[in-house]
């Protein structure tokens, strides 16, 4: 199983990076989300998959009777999933906003780069608001 998961994680990471490198901002977000999934799996697998029982203590007992899955990486992954979700959401909104200003989703398009350097020089959106009207 471990070998299988190792291969899966590697392939998912490769796919995620290929998406992120594409230059299309939507694909970038998809890749980002995929990368989060693969890294979560990596942490999960690194905590070993030997025991498959959930880390829950039976009622009436004071500690685990049978060996259970590793609880520590699970706690890490749980918050990582939620934070990954928050970041993906933020990226999406940023994407939406960027499109509103540049009218393009292609990060390599000259209009996109020009807008960036303009925003750099005026330190704000004063240059951008004029653009939106056009």
Partner 1 sequence: MIKNRSNIAKVPDCCRAGLISSLLPLLLFALLCLAWPGVIQGRAIQVEMPWIPSLDLSLRFRLDGLSLLFCLIITLAGFFVSLYASSYMAGKQHLGRFFVYLHGFMLAMLGIVTADNLILLFVFWEATTILSYLLIGFDHEDATVRDNARQAILITGAGGLFLLLGILLLKTAGGSMILSQWPGFGDSIREHALYPAIFVCVLVGAMTKSAQIPFHFWLPNAMSAPTPISAFLHAATMVKAGIYLLMRFHPLLGGTHLWMGTLVVVGGITALWGAVQALAPCDLKRILAYTTLMALGIMTLFLGGRSAPSLTAATTFLMVHALYKASLFLAVGSMDHQTGTRDLRHLGGLLPAMPLTALAVAAAALSMAGFPLFFGFIGKEIMYAGALSEDLFPAFSTLAALFSNALMTAVSAVIFITPFLGRRPADMGPVREAPWTMRLGPAVMGGLGIIFGIVPEWVSANLIEPAVFAFHPSREEIRLSLFHGLNLPLLLSMVTLALGTVIYRFREALRAFVKNILARLRVTTPGIYQVILDGFIQMASGFAQRFQNGSLHRYLAVIVLAVVMVTGWPWVAHIPSAFIVPDPRGLIMPTGICLFILAAAGLVVTARRRLVAIGGLGAVGAGVALIFLMFGAPDIALTQLLVETLTVVIVSLVLFRLPPMEGGRKRKGLRKWMDAGLSVSVGVLVTTWLMGILQKPLDRSLTAFFEINSYVAAHGRNIVNVILVDFRSLDTLGEICVVVLAAWAGVALMRSAREG
Partner 2 sequence: MQSDILKTATRLMVGLMLVFAVYLLLRGHHEPGGGFIAALVAGTAFALFAVTEGPARVRRAIRLRPSTLAASGLALAAGAGLPALFLDRPYLTGLWWKSGDFSLGTPLIFDVGVFLAVLGSILAVLLALEEN
Contact set for partner 1, span 72-101 (CB under 8 A): 72, 74-75, 77-79, 81-90, 92-97, 99-100
Select from partner 1, partner 2, none the partner in contact with residue 118, using the beta carbon and a kind-dependent cut-off of 5 to 8 Å: none
Q: Alpha-carbon distance 27 to 92, whole Å?
A: 11
Select from partner 1, partner 2, none the partner in contact with residue 131, using the beta carbon and a kind-dependent cut-off of 5 to 8 Å: none
What residues have CB less than 8 Å from 47, skipping those under 6 apart?
A: 69, 70, 72, 73, 74
**Taking CB under 8 A as the rule, does residue 61 contact partner 1?**
yes
Three-state DSSP at 105 gives coil
Closest to partner 2 by CB, 11 vs 83, is 83
CB atoms inside a 10 Å sphere around CB 71: 13
Q: Alpha-carbon distance 29 to 16, whole Å?
A: 9
Instruction: Output the CA–CA distances (angstroms, integers) from residue 66 to 58, 69, 72, 89, in the order listed.
Output: 10, 10, 17, 40
- State the number of binding residues for partner 1 (CB under 8 A): 96
Select from partner 1, partner 2, none the partner in contact with residue 130, using the beta carbon and a kind-dependent cut-off of 5 to 8 Å: none
**Taking CB under 8 A as the rule, does residue 86 contact partner 2?**
yes
Binding interface with partner 2 (CB under 8 A)? 54, 56, 59, 78-79, 82, 86, 89, 93
């Amino acid at each position: 199983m471990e070998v299988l998961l190792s291969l899966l994680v590697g392939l998912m990471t490769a796919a995620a990076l290929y998406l992120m490198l594409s230059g299309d901002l939507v694909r970038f977000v998809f890749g980002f989300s995929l990368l989060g999934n693969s890294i979560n799996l990596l942490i999960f697998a690194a905590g070993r998959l030997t025991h498959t029982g959930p880390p829950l203590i039976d009622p009436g007992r004071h500690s685990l009777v049978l060996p259970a899955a590793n609880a520590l990486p699970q706690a890490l992954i749980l918050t990582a999933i939620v934070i990954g979700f928050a970041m993906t959401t933020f990226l999406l909104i940023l994407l939406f906003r960027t499109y509103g200003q540049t009218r393009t989703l292609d990060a390599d398009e000259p209009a996109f780069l020009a807008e960036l350097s303009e925003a750099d020089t005026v330190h704000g959106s004063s240059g951008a608001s004029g653009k939106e009207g056009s």
